[in-house]
Structure 1
């Protein structure tokens, strides 16, 4: 499988920073890029610069009044709770608009490069801020960079874009942006909204012509069950929809060690997810793949390894799970965070992919979740729900 990945990166992306005690610490992105470099992943990948998103671009999704509030709050350092600015989740920081516009600029640059045929795959690992609403900040997200990237694609001629979100939290902001637009298929696999923020993402949220798809998984879901849910929903819908571009959000807070959620995936399971998304980009979207980061709050042991695997997979040169984490990188991680980094790029698990229909158990909560989603949306796409 070919790679040809372009990564949009600038250290200025680390300025998206809510402060040292906030869970979304930019050190996780710094450690990811350093690990990817140390392991040679970026030796076979073009790393490119980009321009910050202007107001006209951001306004493809966000209200002008909200944008002005973000600018004002970030300069005056005063909260504006009307717009979700200054809450515990979204505290004010200096230059908030400028930092957020950089994230949007990188994701739109990735979408533009893929749409224009410059590269088949393009990434903004600092992106994936999927909770931001058109008129409010939410869930650590000020501007919704994946939604703006999708809106840019629609503005430039795309008429079928698929978005697949594997973050542990529902991709509510992206769903809302395109809920009534059948040109965009949004698929989110996440922990049940009954147990986790943002409290949305039930199967009955189906959007226009069944193009909002939600798989709500019970707490404790591990690698094998998560992959079963993915296989029971995502490939069939992408094959039916035939997107011109696949946009994905790879939040790695599904990991068992993540402090903010309750799923139980391993690094090895996440690595398997990335391989499946890569395969589906080629099989259903002509290889056109725009990928972003997302959530992930175990800053040293999880995020850098997960997203380095993601970049390696997208480059066409996946890393062996047993690959050692370089000692100089581990020393840097210890210096920066005081935490001991893992020695290898694996958690030591073998991940089996079980397809839907194998051993279906109507009493199993995973199978119940899969079936609820299939019944809600499959008929809209000409697919049998069972």
Structure 2
């Protein structure tokens, strides 16, 4: 059984009209799934709003108080804002920031509530996955780290042993930081190497500290990595990690900014990877966690021709439906073609796939990193 957490209120988390982070992608995904007939009103759960105490299970009080001040339009010196990772090009401030951020966190906590109460095995909240939020600092379009807060709830309230899986093109640095000292959550991130991409972290030798040593796994991939190498590295490393760790539940972030049409990263994945990833993770949940799985969104910045289709594949996967093919529903095309700043490609597959130079050397470099990580989990 699967549930889909959504409300139009989640779209109010917004940095401005010209910012690359645009939650309209969540509505577009929802509308696409509705148009296919695979998502009905019976599947959708309206999210609750997180409490301040739930947010402070991860975030420092002084940071939360600052976000609340900004939300009330209290004037705060720029130097102080920047100390907390705010008032930057990536993470500018906006009115009601605290309230709208609480809704994103509340949606992810609703997913926790649904799975832990046995109302469903799988809960999907695509508005979440804000994995760059640190305990006392914003970053990378993320104010509150809903992923970390959801994991902390699973640990504190349900004594769960959590495997966090992050397939976003950017390293899941905020979640790793939250649990870098903990052995109750193993954080796994497969991403483009930080040599060239924000946030610059996620080396293979970042493994945790103190009780958390050995409970962080990172697979940094070369720029222009394509489907075959990505899926190979993901499949082998993730199976080795889950066999070693034996979690009670999986929380996964499904950023789709590794697609070759995404404007912010340098991976060269096609829609095939985004069909494959959720199916692999669901199969692992079925095998190792009695089907318990919480799925969050993450990055993805081509909202017209990538994100809705890629995220729709998640729903098809968890519902055990075959991947959709052919033409997109006409109702969806008509709903959005006049709003798009680019032509909407009206098919489920990609319009073009780039020719990648040095494919063999990229693959070999990725295998070297993969083998080093596999050695950690013998």
Query: Quick one: distance in 1 between partners of 2:56 and 2:301?
Result: 29
1:12 and 2:12 equivalent? Answer: no
Displacement of 1:335:
2.4
1:47 and 2:44 equivalent? Answer: yes
Q: Give the structure-2-normalised TM-score.
A: 0.93
Q: Which runs of 4+ in 1 moved over 6 A?
A: 360-363
Residues 178 and 45 (structure 1 numbering): CA distance in 2 closer, same or farther, change over 3 Å? Answer: farther
Query: Quick one: distance in 2 between partners of 1:120 and 1:31?
Result: 25
Greater CA drift, 360-369 or 304-313: 360-369
Counterparts of 1:225-374 in structure 2 under 5 Å? 225-320=229-324, 322-347=325-350, 364-374=364-374
Displacement of 1:311:
1.4
Query: Quick one: distance in 2 between partners of 1:372 and 1:313?
Result: 30
Greater CA drift, 72-81 or 126-135: 72-81
Asked if 1 retains the 8 angstrom alpha-carbon contact of 2:225 and 2:363, the reply is no
Q: Which residue of 2 aligns with 1:210?
A: 214
**Secondary structure of the structure 1 residue equivalent to 2:65:** helix
RMSD of equivalent CA atoms:
1.9
Query: Quick one: distance in 2 between partners of 1:267 and 1:104?
Result: 28
Residues 331 and 64 (structure 1 numbering): CA distance in 2 closer, same or farther, change over 3 Å? Answer: same
Query: Quick one: distance in 1 between partners of 2:278 and 2:236?
Result: 16
Residues 179 and 343 (structure 1 numbering): CA distance in 2 closer, same or farther, change over 3 Å? Answer: same
Deviations along 1:106-145, one digit per CA (max 9) or x if unpaired, are 0011012112211000011110000000001100000000
Displacement of 1:280:
0.7
Displacement of 1:45:
5.8
Query: Quick one: distance in 1 between partners of 2:12 and 2:361?
Result: 48
Structure 2, unmatched stretches of 5+, are 354-359
Q: Which residue of 2 aligns with 1:357?
A: none
Structure 1, unmatched stretches of 5+, are 351-359
Displacement of 1:342:
1.9
1:177 and 2:174 equivalent? Answer: no
Query: Quick one: distance in 2 between partners of 1:318 and 1:138?
Result: 37
Residues 363 and 37 (structure 1 numbering): CA distance in 2 closer, same or farther, change over 3 Å? Answer: closer
**Secondary structure of the structure 2 residue equivalent to 1:336:** coil
Query: Quick one: distance in 2 between partners of 1:36 and 1:147?
Result: 28
Displacement of 1:66:
0.4
Deviations along 1:1-28, one digit per CA (max 9) or x if unpaired, are xxx1101111000001111100001221
Query: Quick one: distance in 2 between partners of 1:277 and 1:283?
Result: 10
1:193 and 2:190 equivalent? Answer: no
Asked if 1 retains the 8 angstrom alpha-carbon contact of 2:63 and 2:84, the reply is yes
Deviations along 1:27-48, one digit per CA (max 9) or x if unpaired, are 2112111111111121386101
Q: Which residue of 2 aligns with 1:354?
A: none
Count the aligned residue pairs: 365
Query: Quick one: distance in 1 between partners of 2:364 and 2:42?
Result: 43
Deviations along 1:306-357, one digit per CA (max 9) or x if unpaired, are 001111211222433x24211221122222233222211122899xxxxxxx
**Secondary structure of the structure 2 residue equivalent to 1:42:** coil
Asked if 1 retains the 8 angstrom alpha-carbon contact of 2:6 and 2:125, the reply is yes
Q: Which residue of 1 aligns with 2:117?
A: 116
Counterparts of 1:152-163 in structure 2 under 5 Å? 152-163=153-164
Asked if 2 retains the 8 angstrom alpha-carbon contact of 1:5 and 1:45, the reply is no
- Matching residue within 70, 75, 91 for 1:73: 70
Query: Quick one: distance in 2 between partners of 1:164 and 1:26?
Result: 22
